[in-house]
Amino acid sequence: MPFENKAEGDWTVVKVTDMRLDAAQAEPFRKHVLTEIDAGQSQFVIDLESVIFMDSSGLGALVACLKQLGGQGEVRLAGAGGAVKDLFELTSMDKLFKMFDNVEAALAGDGA
């Protein structure tokens, strides 16, 4: 599976290990995170450091996860760079998600 979880205190860090979060990976990613939400997790850092391409399906999966939390949790994004970061800025999704340079900063809440 192209996703790895790591517990960091109250946070679940979900690392996307694939280089793409697109139509092929969006639904498995969404299901992966929703399974964690159903198990009671509500604070997530999504590590996008390895992702070099994301399309609207990937964005939609992230939004679906945020909506599933219903305001009762948080999704922070870490490590988005290049074209992925540009996509968030172009679509104004950087206003919806708190974005951080790396996982450590996201866990600390520094540099949003």
- Spatial separation of the C-alpha atoms in residues 41 and 18, rounded to whole Å: 23
> Distance of alpha carbon 86 from its chain centroid, rounded?
15
The reported pLDDT for the residue numbered 102 is 97
Report the predicted TM-score, pTM, of the whole model to 2 decimal places.
0.94
Mean pLDDT of successive 10-residue segments in the chain (112 residues)? 91 97 96 96 98 97 96 96 96 95 93 54
Q: Under CATH, to which class is 3-108 assigned?
A: alpha beta
Which pLDDT value is given to residue 19? Answer: 96
pLDDT reported for residue 2? 87
Nearest-5° angle of CA 52, CA 56, CA 62? 80
